[in-house]
Structures are given as structure tokens and as C-alpha cells.
Structure 1
């Protein structure tokens, strides 16, 4: 066990030395910090990361050590290294729990997870985020919740709360997709449980209406007509504009087994007929992006940090090549 620890320390030291390679060893603490600041200002984030790491390793108790740790979180984030950004934020929180700017570390943890959930393709293509694995979104929500609970008066709290609205809607919409998947596979009890979970745990989100529709449909398939009527009445009373009520009566999204096409039955449901069961047609996924856009517009200008303001305009060539060419 001790040998493993020694190997870990040796590897860590070697990595730190490699990161500092090419950086003038005669630079003073102030000069190194100023160079890192210049790199950040000119969007040279990889170079900024190397210099901030060198600054911390060479002057661990210097006047800029704590500030370098904070700015390393941001530099990693801008260098598209969300895991490193979150790890740096965790380290800062662990080392400096009473620091005046520790709320920034909590905020950046949430931001890094937030962008990690969106992913590279989502920045260029109109993907439905509610269909993706919600792991990073759930982490981001929990991290923003930690910030708002521990530092309710933080300058970052308003922005975090607005992002939490979007993330909560996103998590609820994901549950809707899973529930419809269960309906499609005739797992009616599982679909019912998901629908009930949505209604009980995601109040004030667009997905509640979908949850009630799922409960109604699952109860109907299970021949629990009284319970189906109760769910349907609740849906009609609170969400009369829901898509399942468009024809004036409740219209199930999933057909009974006997009503499915021969192609659907032959392929065990993997190939359907003309019925459109795409998850993106749910009410929740239609509303989730609109809800986020509305929330984003309400963020006060005072909390719009450089994270949102320093994005340079990119040419069509840069977007087309995912940033490889053009500026």
C-alpha cells in the first residue's frame, strides 16, 4: 500500500514538472501570475493552465497561490476540460472552506457540469437534451442547489437558480421519455410508477401534464378504469390544452397489442407503423427550451459574468469545422 502511495506521488510530481516545462524558471511569482493573466485575457487557456499550475507548485504559500487555484478552475473550464475544472473546484472547497470567494468554486462546479451535459454536438446541432443521459444534468442541479443553500446571498445565486429551473424541467422531461418507452414496451406498471413519480416530484414543471397522461394511459391498459378516470379528470381540470385532449376525448399515445401493425409485432415493437411515438413530441420537451430561454432572460445583468460575455464571434468556417479552422 505504501509503495502505491509513493508511486502516486512520483507520478504527480512528474506531471507537475511536465506542465511547467517550457516556462522560464527564473520568473518571479508576480511575473508568472501576470503572464497567466495575459494568457487568460487573450484566450490562450492551455498556456494559462500551465502557468497557473506552475505558479501554484513553485509558490504554494505565495500571495497569489489561492487566487491561482481559483483561476485554474476557470482556465480548465474555458479550455474545455470540465472534469479538471470540477476537480479543481472540489480541491479549492476542501482546502479553503471559509474563503471569501468559495461560492465561486461551487458555482463553477455547477457550470462545468452544466456545459458537460450539453456536450460538443449540442453546441452546433439542435439536439433534444431531454433524451440524453441526465447524469451530468443531475450533478449540475445538485451543485447549484449546494450554492444557493449555503450562500443564498451570493452574487452567483440568481443565475444558479435560473439554471436550476431549466435543469429541473430537463430531468422531468427525461422521466417522461422513459415512461413512454415503458408504455411502448407494454410495461404498464413501470410506466405508471414513472408517471406517478413525475407528478409527485416535479410539480410546477411542464412534465406534470405528461405524467398525468401517462398515468391515465397506464391505468387504462391495466383495466383500472376508476383510477384512470381520476387521473383523466385531474388532467382535464388542470391541463385542458394538453395534446392528448386535442380531439375532445383522451387519446392514448400507445396502441394496445392487438391494434399494432404486423410489422410492429414481427419486430417486437422496434419497427412501428405510421404511428409517431417519438419522445420529442411530448409536451415537456416542447416547453423545456422555452422555459430555459424565459429564465435566462430574467437573469440580472449584475450576475452575467465573463463566462457568458467573453465568447468571441465565430466565423461560419469555425463552426463548420468545430473550431479547427477559422476564428
Structure 2
């Protein structure tokens, strides 16, 4: 069972960067459960596993939901929850995936596969923030609210910090870098918005936020730039000069 879980996770690590157009799927309804044959938990799980491995995620959700409803305290209960998360993710049902993950973490705070759940919560939050069509056609989404991005960043950071030897840690680190740049870019988009509307103090504060919180991002120089020009617009020449010096002293500008 756990081997199956790991297989699914590594598939995600390889393919998560490729955005697919997935149909939404709801939580298992009573009528879905009724379509599932009356079998033992083991037999149903074997069917669900085979269905999941075949990529038939909607049907897998029906089977896993039936196991969950009929055998809530059975030997497959936790594995079913983890597999449901994977199936929900693949069908784009991020709300159900997040609800299942949160419930699992709350009820199983010491489970040996919590690293997987934090990894999946990070991926699900990223997916929830994506707009498949606009990403596909290359539309810049940096001006969107970054709340989901922050949540994903926190989850993946928790994974790397608490489970440094997890097999998901290397991929999580790559995604953390990407998320860091995305959050910094969002703040700069807001800073530019304020600057264009002559709200120079607000623009400077957004740039300062990037310098203080996202100094490892690729947008540090741009943050210094908008701080400097905002302070000059405000007539705060000393502050602008200090920012210019800080930018020159930054190793990334050497």
C-alpha cells in the first residue's frame, strides 16, 4: 500500500510542472457509492488501486469513497484517505483534496507519511491558484492575490524543515524557490500599481517588503529600484541614497 503511495508521489514530482487540463470531480455521492459492488474492504481496495493506477480517477474516487463509507475504521482507512487526495488532485478537485488533507493531519498528527500530506497540500494549493487556460496562453498572472501561493510556500517549507530526509524534500526545495520568486513578483506588481497612481509611500513599502522577506528571490534589484525612485518622488533624498548604497553593496549586483 505504502509502495503504491510512493509511486504516485514520485509520478507527481516528475509531472507536477506540466499543467494539464483536468475535469472537476466532486466528493463521492451516495449514488456513486451505491454503484460500487458489495465486496470486502480488501477486494474493494484492490479494485480501487488498479483503477487509480490506470488513471481512471473519477471511478477511483467512487471506489475509495465507498471503502471510506463502509469501512471507516478498517485497515485501509488511512491509505484510502491518502489515495483520495491523489485522485482529487488529478481531477482538479482542490477543495476536496485540501479538506481531506487537513482532516488527515488533524486526526493523525504523528503518522509516518505526514511528509507526503504536506507535500500534497503544497501541490494542491499551487494547483488551486493556477488558471489553466491563461497559463497555457502565456498570460501573466502575477497580479493575482498571492494567498494560495503563501500557503503552498508554508506547507513545502514545513516539509523541508521537519522532514529533511523525506524523498519529497528535493522537489519541494525546487518549488520553494519558484514560489519565493512568484511572491516577490506579486509584491512588485502591486508596488508598480501604487507608483503609477502616485502612491509613492505605499510603493516604497511594498519594495521594502520584498527586500526584507524575499531577499533570496530574483527580484531584489527591482525592489531596491522602486524603493529608491519612490523615495525620490517623496523628496526623501537621504533614504533614496541609502537604498542606492544598499543595492550597490548587495553581492548580487557585483
Please confirm whether the aligned pair reaches a TM-score higher than 0.5, indicating the same fold.
Answer: yes
* Counterpart among 117, 120, 142 of residue 129 in structure 2: 117
Q: Structure 1 residue 143 and structure 2 residue 155: aligned?
A: yes
Q: Structure 1 residue 33 and structure 2 residue 45: aligned?
A: yes
1:78-227 matches, cutoff 5 A? 78-227=90-239
Q: Structure 1 residue 23 and structure 2 residue 36: aligned?
A: yes
Instruction: State the partner residue of 2:67.
Output: 55
Q: Provide the rounded CA distance (Å) in 2 between the counterparts of 1:159 and 1:240.
A: 28
Structure 1 residue 16 displacement after superposition: 4.9
1:247-262 matches, cutoff 5 A? none
Deviations 1:247-300 (A, max 9, x none): xxxxxxxxxxxxxxxxxxxxxxxxxxxxxxxxxxxxxxxxxxxxxxxxxxxxxx
Structure 1 residue 177 displacement after superposition: 0.7
Does structure 2 retain, via aligned residues, the 8 Å contact 1:16–1:57?
no
Structure 1 residue 200 displacement after superposition: 1.4
Q: Provide the rounded CA distance (Å) in 1 between the counterparts of 2:212 and 2:114.
A: 34
SS in 2 for 1:31: helix
Q: Provide the rounded CA distance (Å) in 2 between the counterparts of 1:177 and 1:105.
A: 32
Q: Provide the rounded CA distance (Å) in 2 between the counterparts of 1:156 and 1:113.
A: 16
User: Which sections of structure 2, spanning at least 5 residues, go unmatched?
Assistant: 1-27
Q: Provide the rounded CA distance (Å) in 1 between the counterparts of 2:39 and 2:70.
A: 10
Structure 1 residue 61 displacement after superposition: 2.2
Structure 1 residue 123 displacement after superposition: 4.5
SS in 1 for 2:131: helix
Instruction: State the partner residue of 1:294.
Output: none
Choose 1 or 2 for highest CA Rg.
1
Q: Provide the rounded CA distance (Å) in 2 between the counterparts of 1:167 and 1:18.
A: 40
Structure 1 residue 234 displacement after superposition: 3.1
TM-score by length of 2: 0.83
Structure 1 residue 131 displacement after superposition: 2.2
TM-score by length of 1: 0.65
In structure 2, relative to structure 1, the CA distance for the partners of 1:240 and 1:140 (3 Å cut) is closer
Length, aligned pairs only: 226
Does structure 2 retain, via aligned residues, the 8 Å contact 1:199–1:211?
yes
